[in-house]
Amino acid sequence: MRFPERLAADAALCEARLLRALEDRADQPVTHAMRYALRGGKRLRAFLVLEGARLHGVPEARALSAAAAVEALHAYSLVHDDLPAMDDDDLRRGQPTVHVKWDEATAVLAGDALQTLAFELLTDPALGSAEVRVALVAGLAKASGIDGMVLGQALDIAAETAGRSLTLEEITALQAGKTGALISFAAEAGAVIAGADPAPLRRYAAALGLAFQIADDILDVTGDEAVTGKRVGKDADAGKATFVSLLGLEGARVRAADLVREAEAALAGYGNGTANLIAAARFVIARDN
């Protein structure tokens, strides 16, 4: 299956797994808000989990709960990131954000419970031995907590009040936490499940994650709100340093293309079976949303 079809197929598998995880839960606004927050999106992280698994001969059904866990974790981070006290966004994937559609309290709780759900999903026996599942829990915690995603978000907030623009090095560190750590966890999860060395996929993901963020910054300047499904121009409006403000639009494009080549090079040792991971890296900088 070629990349666009594979991405869509993996997204559908992941969505079904997430909805199944929320079956038979209390009929409360917070449960509805959780389902709402889990809908849509490209589900690139789920694809990375499942493709990394396929690369190691692990069937999708065995890795699916890890893919769903990463998407649940990502969804929680978006719900909380959109809160008025954080980025204050009212539009996400072309729809009202959770605190707009419900209220702030429901958004706080839905985000909290989505994080819990992510760790719950990683205890699914389908993922393999208890050793594998504990390794996944430890990996997701490291990627998403104060050493990873939350650190990136904290650096982002600190940057807004720093009274000066970030350097390229600082912005790279910020993004390595904010988006990179979770993308790396997703790319490595298949190797963890297979008991294989995740180092090459970690190098692939580091380059992919940074390329992804540079592409986001480019879209914030060149994108169309109707296509991206979120507010554009907001970083420039806020006077924030971005890869585009630091490198220029053309410089950012060149850097992103270099990173895609780095990502491809990291996969060289696997031989066949990496076509879709390579296509994903190219997609990341070519997407319009």
Contacts with its own copies by CB under 8 A lie at 22, 25-26, 28-31, 34, 76, 80, 83, 85-86, 103-106, 108-109, 111-113, 115-117, 119-120, 122-123, 129-131, 133-134, 137-138, 140-142, 144-147, 150-151, 153-155, 157-158
What's the min distance (Å) between Cβ of 119 and its own copies?
A: 5
Give the DSSP H or E segment for 91.
strand 91-92
What's the min distance (Å) between Cβ of 72 and its own copies?
A: 10
Token pair of 161, please? 């009040």
> In terms of CB distance, is 10 or 82 closer to its own copies?
82
What's the min distance (Å) between Cβ of 90 and its own copies?
A: 15
Contact 189/63 with Cβ under 8 angstroms?
yes
> In terms of CB distance, is 23 or 250 closer to its own copies?
23
Report the C-alpha gap between 244 and 219 in whole angstroms. Answer: 10
Q: How many CB atoms lie within 10 A of CB 255?
A: 17
131-162 b/e with 16+ CB inside 10 Å = b?
Answer: ebbebbeebbbebbeeebbbbbbebbeebeee
Token pair of 185, please? 């966890």
> In terms of CB distance, is 157 or 168 closer to its own copies?
157
